[in-house]
Structure 1
Amino acid sequence: MSCTQTGMRPPAAAAIQIWDSHYTPASQAFGAFRDVVCSAFMPWTPEPSDPEVQFEGRVENLFLESGSVGLCSTNGLTARKTKGNISNSPVECIYGNYVLAGEISVEQADKRNVARPGDLVLYHSYRPVFLTEKPGVRNVNIAFSIPAARFAGVPNAERRFMNTLVPANRLIDPLAGCFSMLARSMRSSSPEEMSALFDACAALLPVSAGCCAPEAQGRGEWGALPRDILAFVDDNMSDPGLTPQRAAERLGVSTRHLHKLFARSGTTFGGYVTSERLERVRCELMSMSRRAPISELAFRWGFSDLSTFNRAFKRRFGVSPRTLRGSRG
């Protein structure tokens, strides 16, 4: 959860601010977290995940000229940004969480994303949002907010930052490296060094979110397809209910026209979606840092039937998912 707000004026020395539940009587821990941290730094309505479990949390927060960033750790909570919270937010921001441990679920704009270690999730401050950190485990993340005005000239920024998940296997290495360094350096680096790192993160966000791909670049054999179609499919790839009819309706075209566009690229809507889903599962299977069950990966990327997935995977790559994972050791 992001407990920062760029509408506040940063301290003159840009000093790090630390809050820890262990500094507070146990019976008052969550109340202090809510009143001192969230109410002071960012309008949210948080609640503990399990009122029967003693809340534990820690926030190391730094205000910078270009936004704010914090290293946040809790044992689980939920938080809503309501219309009332939004009306009390002085600056429109892009929020983000880079997950180091645990799990964060984000619900915004009729979409739910689940971010796990190594994943980045981005969302707007000026639309209602519901966040859930996994209860009963240690949830650690780099949370940040950046004024939306910074991305005013970035193509597709409004849509690409609206509850977008960038999974670990698609997060560009320079951005992942910057986040990791932020986590390690929060208390040991100077404000100037932290500001430079944070600015680098902000500059790389549009690239990782897919805002800045050149028009001519396309996606290999899919380059002839309009970018708005590719973007919509990309944003909804994990939804098993993604259909040509739904895509056509959201894009404001007829289903027949949509089928014609894919036919001109030598494929079908269903063929393209299946191909992209299989590629994303393959990337996760090849990652040594992610060991989720194969069935979980298949369902995560929109397959609703495991046997159909296994057949399609072997047909596409020549080996079964289990064999491919085994080849990585």
Structure 2
Amino acid sequence: MGMVRPMKFGALSLPDRESRMVCRSILLDMLGEATLNVMDGDLTGVTGLFWKYISLSLTTIYFPKSALHLSASGVNSADIVILRAIDGPLSVRHRKVLAQLQPRDVIFVPADAACEITLSNGGRLDLAHLPGYAMGAIRDRLKPLCMQILPADCLPLGLLTNYAGYLLRQEYQSEREAAMMVAHFYDLLPILIRQISSDSLENLPQGRLSSIKSIIEANMARSGFSISDVADAQGITTRAVQKFFSREGTTFSRYVLERRLELAKSMMLTEGGSLSISQIAYSVGFNDLSYFNRTFRSRYGVRPSDLRRAAASQL
């Protein structure tokens, strides 16, 4: 009977070029072609562990303790990659969605398109690659979880990461043991889905609303940005999006308008006369200057030009 062994890669003495080659080869099947940029320094000294079975791949990469940005092309399939950073915040952008995670929070990322990953402090990054063919019907049930921030204290999630850690750190497993552990890993996914769904009914509306608001902030400058874009990004209906805002006594459209006006006002106060009114209006998503002037005056009781003039006189 064959053995399945984790592979140790890298070394503290491994130079930048070789470290990049190792990382790219490890990430290729998981995220596609990857480009790594270290904000201060290089990738010298990358180390890690890699474990691969026919229906599951796992890796832990120890990057230098410096801000790092990773761009990946995607693998154009129904695969999903689970990500977790340990030593600092993690941000992930996939299509129109930007998620910002705290250390040890987890996110499920579809591997079907390009994504951008930023480790603010560098350090340890954990990845699990779930091939589409291995997930089967559970893949559709996982869709609502994708690009949602899953807190580190979620019990089924803790069990998943414990299984992954066991597989990576054991010297070897027999084929039978590996198959059993992978089966248990996948058996935990329906439990995780039920847990998150149950929490959503009681504890997660605010978390989902925060995620929706993050999408709005990231797309504020797009004049054509709509509730449909948010619904598509979240995997829910437009009616569900409206319900989140109705709980706060507002609507999606009213919230977006208020945020655009707040941002425009902030720019006038900080930029002074360096930007024209039209530049400010267009930069926060307005495409009708008359409408912007009218709604701004209605909201703040002052014309945008008067506020900008007053702010400029204080600089």
**TM-score normalised over the length of structure 2:** 0.58
Amino acid at match of 2:86: L
Q: Which residue of 2 aligns with 1:98?
A: 84
Q: Which residue of 2 aligns with 1:175?
A: 157
Match of 1:191 in 2: 173
Q: Is the 8 A contact 1:105 1:112 kept in 2?
A: yes
Displacement over 6 Å in runs of 4+: 229-232
Matched, 1:160 2:144: yes
Asked whether the 8 Å contact 1:233–1:247 carries over to 2, the reply is no
In 2: Cα distance, 1:200 partner to 1:272 partner? 44
Q: 1:132 to 1:155 in 2, by over 3 A?
A: closer
Deviations 1:178-213 (A, max 9, x none): 413532552335425555444333333354356984
Q: Mark the CA change 1:167 to 1:237 in structure 2 (over 3 Å): closer, same or farther.
A: farther
CA distance in 2, matches of 1:39, 1:251: 30
Separation of aligned partners in 2, 1:213 and 1:68: 26
Deviations 1:137-172 (A, max 9, x none): 4x2233111112344423853632432221224x2x
Report the alpha carbon displacement of residue 93 of structure 1 after superposing the two structures with TM. 1.1
CA RMSD of the aligned region, Å? 4.4
Q: Pick the structure with greater CA Rg.
A: 2
The percentage of aligned residue pairs carrying the same residue is 9
CA offset at residue 47 of structure 1? 1.7
CA contact (8 A) 1:160 1:210 kept: no
**Cα distance change on mapping 1:162 and 1:27 into 2, 3 Å:** closer
**Correspondence for 1:44:** 33
- Counterpart of 2:85, as a letter, is V
5+ residue gaps, structure 1: 1-11, 223-228, 274-329
Q: Trace 1:137-156 onto structure 2 (pairs within 5 A).
A: 137=122, 139-154=123-138, 156=140
Match of 1:200 in 2: 184
Aligned match for 1:80, one of 67, 71, 79: 71
CA contact (8 A) 2:46 2:63 kept: yes
User: Helix, strand or coil: the match of 1:52?
Assistant: coil
- On the 8 A contact 1:142/1:179 being kept in 2, the answer is no
Q: In 2 relative to 1, CA 110–209 (structure 1 residues): closer, same or farther, beyond 3 Å?
A: farther
- Tell me, in whole angstroms, the C-alpha distance in 2 between the residues paired with 1:221 and 1:186: 33
Query: In 2, Cα distance between the equivalents of 1:270 and 1:154?
Result: 33
Distance 1:105 1:218, change over 3 A: closer
Closer, same or farther in 2 for the Cα pair 1:161/1:109, shift >3 Å? farther
- Secondary structure class of the residue paired with 1:92: coil
Q: What residue in structure 2 maps to residue 279 of structure 1?
A: none
- Equivalent position of 1:269 in the other structure: 247
Q: Is the 8 A contact 1:21 1:56 kept in 2?
A: yes
Partners of 1:152 and 1:200 in 2: CA distance: 15
Distance 1:80 1:221 in 2: 33
Amino acid at match of 1:176: G
1:219 to 193, 201, 215: 201
How far 1:70 moved relative to its partner? 1.5
Q: CA 1:58 to 1:155, structure 2 compared with 1: closer, same or farther past 3 Å?
A: closer
Equivalent of 1:20, from 5, 10, 31? 10
CA contact (8 A) 1:122 1:162 kept: yes
Distance of 2:120 and 2:213 partners within structure 1: 23
Per-residue deviation at 1:35? 5.2
Task: State the distance in 1 between where 2:101 and 2:47 align.
Answer: 20
Give the C-alpha shift of residue 271 in structure 1.
Answer: 4.9
* SS of match in other structure, 2:100: strand
Q: Which has the higher helix share?
A: 2
TM-score (norm 1): 0.56
Alignment partners' CA distance in 1, 2:207 and 2:140: 9
Q: What is the match of residue 212 of structure 2?
A: 236
CA contact (8 A) 1:154 1:212 kept: no
